[in-house]
Every structure is written in C-alpha cells, then in structure tokens.
Amino acid sequence: MAAMLIADFGAEVIKVEGPGGDRMAAHPGYLCWNRNKQRLVLDLERFEGLHAARQLLATADVALFDSRPGELERLGLDATTVHRANPSLVHVWLPPYGTVGRWSQLPPDELLLSGLSGVASQQLSYEDRPVSLETPQLGYAQALDAAGAIGSALVNRARTGRGEAVVVSGMHTIASVESGGQTKFGDVMQVPRSGSRGNTPNYRLYRCADGLWLFLGTLTVPFFLRALEAMDLMELITVEGVDGEFTNLLRPPMDAVAIEWLDRRFADKPREEWLKILLEAGVPRGPVGHREAWFQGETVAANQMRVELEHPAFGRVELPGVPAKLSATPGSVRHLMHDAKLAELPTHRPLLPGYPQDFAGAGPLAGIRVLDLGAFIAGTFAPTILACYGADVIKVEALDGDPFRMAGMQFVGHNRGKQGLAIDLKDPAGKEAFLDLVRVSDVVLDNYRIGVRERLGIDYATLREVNPGIISCSITGYGPEGPYAQDPGFDPILQARSGMMAGQGGDDEPVFYQVAVNDSATAMMGAFGIVAALHARERTGQGQEVLTCLANQSVICQSGELTWYEGRPANPPGGRDRLGTSAVNRFYQCSDGWIGVACSRPEQFPQLCIALGHPEWAGRVIAEKAAAEPVNSALAEQIGAELAKLTRDEALDRLLARGVPAAPALTLPERFADPFAEENRSFDEYVHPQFGPVTGPRAFADFRHAGGGFARPSPVLGEHSLQVLRDCGFSEERIARLVAKKVVLQA
C-alpha cells in the first residue's frame, strides 16, 4: 500500500513477486493496493531471478522490502550491499515487528503485532482483555507511515543527491498510532476503563429509543454545553458533586452520573429526531452506519474516493480513490496491476540534482520550515511527523492556545519537536506578522473548518501571493464539498459514519476504537502530501495546495474491506470484545497473562496440538479446516483450557519450539517495561518544562544517513515566540511592539 501511494502520484512501480505469488493475492484489497503497478515474477531463490533483481535495483530510485531480519542480507539485497551499485537509491525496509529481538522473526500478523505492542490491551473492552481489531489498522498505518518516510528521503535526495537507508518497522508504526496513548508522565499513564462505548459523557456512543446508535462528539467544553442545552439537560451542572463546575462532569465519580443521565435522555427519542436536534444546535454528532453505505454515499463521491475499473476476471471493480489532493501535481487511479516482462521494461536513469546542496541539522527534511496552525490531532500531528524527520516546525497558536492542551499526555505526545509561537491572527498586526513568516517558510498547515482560512485572509491564494513557493496543506473533516463539508470532524464521528464501529461490533453493539484511526491516518496522509509537494517543487520551483480530510482516510483505512467486485469474499466478522478471527488466530489467556496465537499455514495446526500435549486433536480436525473453526468453537475451548494451565512464558516456549507463531499480549505497563521495546528503541525519555519526566514514542522511521528524531519536547504556549520572530528576521523593536500590544505572547 505504501508503493500504491507513490504510484498514484506518477511513480513507475514494479511489484516483484515470487513464482508462488503474493500471500495476500486472494484478498480483495490486493486489487486496490497494487493499482497503477506492473507485476514482474522473479524467483529470488535462483541465480537468474536474483541477478535480474539486482540489475533493476542498480538503476531504481526506491526499493521497498518487508522481509524479516536477515533475509535481505542472505540475498545480498540489504541497503549496504545494494548501495555499492546504486548510492542514490532510497532503500526502504518494513520489517513486520522490529529489526532485532526475540519476536522479530515472527511471520507478519496483525493480531500478534497488536498484542506485542499493547494496542490490543489498550482497546476499549468490557471484560478487560486484549481485543483484535476487525480491520488491519496497524498494517494500514505502516503503509502510510512508510509513504511519508519515502517521500522525505526523496526530498532529501533531490536536494543532496544522496540515497538513504530507511527503516519503518512495526514498532515505528505503533509510535505513529499511539503517540499520545503510549506517552506517560513519570509513572502515570492512560489506562482505559471498562466498556466499549467511550469513557467520558461528552465523547461517547449512545443508544436511542429505536435501538439505533449515534456518537456524541462534543470534545470541547462549548460543544458539550451546547449539547446539554439542546437536550434540556443543563440542570446537570447544578447536581451535587458537579456544583456548577463543568469539568467535574468529566471526572469520576460524576462522569458516571452524567453518562447515566445522557443514556436515559437519548433513550427518549429515535435517532433521527436526536440527529435533527443536535444538527440544529450545531453539535458534532454522527449516526453509526455501515461501511458499504458510506462507500456508496455522497461524502465519498464528493471527494472522488470511489473509482471503478474493469478486471479481466472479476468484471467491474470498485475501489478507493486518491486520498490526498494536490492542486498542481494531482494523483490518479489509472489502471489495475498488469503483468510485465523483464526484457520489455524501459531503461531508467535516476534524476539527480545538478548542484547538490548540504543542509545543517539532522533529518531528511532539515532546512524546511513549517508553520503549524493545526489543533487537536489530525492537523497538528502531521507537522510532528515532519519535525521527527528534521523540519523546523513552529506551532502557531491563538493566545488562548490549542484547545487540545486540555488532553495532557495526548497533547504532549502529538506535538513533540516544535517551537511554540502564540499570536493573534485576528489582529491586523498579527496577520501582517504571520504573512511575513510565510515569506521565509516552506509549508503552512491548518485544519480549520471550511471558510475560516478565507475569513482570516490566510487561504492558499493569499499565501501564494506572498510566497509563490509555499506549500499550503489544509485538513478538514469531510472535504470541501458534500453534505457534511461545514461540520466539525472528530475522529470517532468518522468511525461511526464510515462503518468502523459497526464492523468492529459485529452482531453486538458498536465499538469505539481506542486508536484514533482517522486522526492519525489523516496526519500521516497530510505529511505524505506535503513531502510529495515539496518533491515536486524541487523540479518546478512552484508551491501548491494540498487537501485531505478524515473522510478520505475512513475509506483508505478500510480499503481492503471496501474494495468490491461481484462475488468477493465476506469480511471477517466483528464482535463484542473480539478475540480474533478463528480458533487458531486469536488471543488466549494463560495463568498469568495473555498471548496471541496465529497459525496461518495448515502444517502449523498439528504442531500446535503437539505443543499442548494433544496430538489427537489433529486427527479430529483437518488442518486445512482449523482456520475456519470459530473463535468460540469447541476447539477454541479445548485450546484455551490447556493454555490456562500454563504460564505465559511456558506457553510461548512450547508453541515457538514447535514452530507455532505466538507472542505475548502485553498490557500498557508491560509494554513500557518490555525488553523487545527496549531493544528496538521504541521509547524516549525526556524532561518536559511543564510536566517533568516523560516517556513516549521515539520515532516514526529511522534514516541511516540523514538521521532525525525529535529535537525538543512539545512547547508550552508561546514558549519560543520571541526566538521564532528573531530567527525569521523580525527586528527587536517590532517584536517589542507586538508583545506590548498583546498581539504576541511569550511564555
């Protein structure tokens, strides 16, 4: 899928497959993820195939691999070896787990990675157990993460002429989706409470009188007060224990009281009536829908996120469109994958700069200045990714700050690596100062609602007049057109509308994803769109506008589930506190914790039976059918009973000794103390000026030559205001006037 995004924007992508084909070839998503590509069959285990692959690599711009550690070295396809023949190559390795350590050799499996990373245990549940996501969100995230890293390395190559060795592992992926969720202050961390509807009354699933569900997305105080007023529940503010202080409604024990009140109130009316009431009051809300209806709906159509192509065997195929819209160099879906012949491939010569430059600082984006006007997650996390890759990111906030600062650990985790500038853009002097910053910057990013940029006078047309080379990226909830274009877009509202929640819940109630799927994916897509535009600017000298939205990512992050053709196989079912997909691919409880078991090949099932001391099970269940045994089948009960007698370590030793893929399902405290996380340098420890000692994700990718990483923690409001203005050429006198007039705030 990472290569799909590169191909969408014009790259000639050759997918090399072995004679046995791709392990995902039967999945409907294979058609989407390999669009715009050519397929070339090479047997890398034979001299002829390996020699041909090396010849292609000698003139390639980018090479992607997802092998387990040691495989590339065995074949001589590792970065060090390949760079001898092609020093300008961007070599990208996507190991499924980590680069080193005990679990790095496991075959790729979404369930095992979610357990090993703590993501499964962080998912909201009723029974306090790890939960398997119905959609492969970690796989999607690794692809989006890798696309941004590839683009950043190509930007660096276009400026310096140097190739790169990039690693985007499964552990990097967890950093990209849990930047806030796996951040802790000292020993204080975020542990989810029971239930899959949401833990706070203002940001939660509710069932209405007709049994249908909606999500109330009032993340901020003004929105929640507006909802209480529309629902005739303002008396909640006067209840003993709340005592007129709104924030008491969001803390135990009064949050439970508020939830009880809202549960009863929503049960009074059918969903359509509540949606109308909340819409008229301007309250963020969304009905729980189904993915198929969403894919066929007006919002997806307005954003060109559904395209149709013809397949020679399947006929008409519907698949997602291009999720990032670039005004000058747009992407497109041109064709499904077709076969290529080695002898007929055109010759290729990498395009390198005539006058290579060097840039001070670490990271492939060193020397790039980004003005970050984003708030919450989707907007402001995109510049955080760019900061990790070396960009100089300035977080530009209003004088009262990003409303997401109230989220503490989430804010700190999603805003690392930036300088902080607090400025009033509504004041003419503040707007003038901002436009002067634009003159000396490369990128401006915002996630304002439709029309706000124009009202502030900082829309792309205005910025382009100031700086023709500027890249202006705007992130919205639903895109510039469509029925919800004017609505505020919060991540779980898109989870609800797009069918994610219903899919996860299956035939039970819908489920609120703990991973902010649409927020984090939209941030990664924004970062990718920006680096694609920066790369184009190296050729054209011109900037452009980049648009993306949460709605687009609600489609891309269900691309395998939404790709449709007549007779396509059904998606795996969801369910309450979902443990997995079958008796041999699910989480099991041992005497002291949980593990994930993932038998993906028929020969592994008999070995599982032997490992648990019951070889006779293999005689009762044909190995090929074991994967079809339901999660709660008699076979699953038997396996569970045996594993419950064992400690987690003993169970893993027994299974792994027989070649059965398995890994621990860690709790969040275990994740922070995990040796595998330490071996793969998953976390950083640093001191925050406001919150003291902090532990959080280290990086979203590693660049062997350019380096990277975070230069600083998230900023205090206005922490670097004066220094930012000085660095951008403002005189001391002008700075003093801006501060004196309270246009600029220095912490």
Catalytic annotation present for 358: no
Distances (CA, A) of 424 to 72, 447, 679, 725: 53, 17, 45, 14
Comparing CA positions, the residue from 510, 507, 453 lying closest to residue 476 is 453
Does residue 459 contact residue 532 with C-beta atoms inside 8 Å?
Answer: no
Strand partners, 445: 372, 473
Cβ-proximal residues to 15 (8 Å cutoff; 6+ apart), any chain: 3, 34, 37, 38, 39, 40, 337
Peptide bond into 403 cis (omega under 30): no
Secondary structure (3-state) at 352: coil
Does residue 512 contact residue 197 with C-beta atoms inside 8 Å?
Answer: yes
Provide Rg for the chain, Cα atoms: 26
Joined tokens for residue 461: 């047309």
Residue 639 CA to residue 132 CA, distance in Å, equals 18
Does residue 223 contact residue 283 with C-beta atoms inside 8 Å?
Answer: yes
Does residue 101 contact residue 675 with C-beta atoms inside 8 Å?
Answer: yes
Joined tokens for residue 527: 């970062």
Helix axes 604-611, 648-657, angle to 10 degrees: 140
Comparing CA positions, the residue from 178, 133, 483 lying closest to residue 301 is 483
Secondary structure (3-state) at 139: helix
**Angle at CA 505, nearest 5°, toward 502 and 510?**
60
Query: For 269, left (φ over 0), alpha (ψ -120 to 50), or beta?
Result: beta
Distances (CA, A) of 50 to 54, 64, 87, 164: 6, 15, 19, 22
For the residues of 213-272, what is the DSSP string, one character each?
EEEEE--SHHHHHHHHHHTT-GGGGGSTTTTT-GGGGGSTTHHHHHHHHHHHHHTTS-HH
**Angle at CA 472, nearest 5°, toward 383 and 697?**
10
Segment holding 673, helix H or strand E: helix 668-673
Distance of CA 616 to the CA centre of its chain: 43
Does residue 611 contact residue 620 with C-beta atoms inside 8 Å?
Answer: no
Distances (CA, A) of 22 to 12, 40, 42, 645: 19, 12, 12, 38
**Which residue, chain included where needed, has tokens 């220094």?**
723
Cβ-proximal residues to 152 (8 Å cutoff; 6+ apart), any chain: 363, 364, 365, 386, 389, 390, 531, 701, 703
Cβ-proximal residues to 14 (8 Å cutoff; 6+ apart), any chain: 37, 38, 39, 40, 56, 340, 345
Strand partners, 702: 167
Beta carbons within 10 angstroms of residue 659's beta carbon: 13
Comparing CA positions, the residue from 245, 235, 121, 243 lying closest to residue 189 is 121
Phi then psi for 101, rounded to 5 degrees? 100, 170
Secondary structure (3-state) at 13: strand
Query: For 512, left (φ over 0), alpha (ψ -120 to 50), or beta?
Result: beta
Distance of CA 391 to the CA centre of its chain: 20
Beta carbons within 10 angstroms of residue 251's beta carbon: 12
The one catalytic residue in 109, 145, 424, 519 is 519
Q: Which residues are catalytic?
A: 519
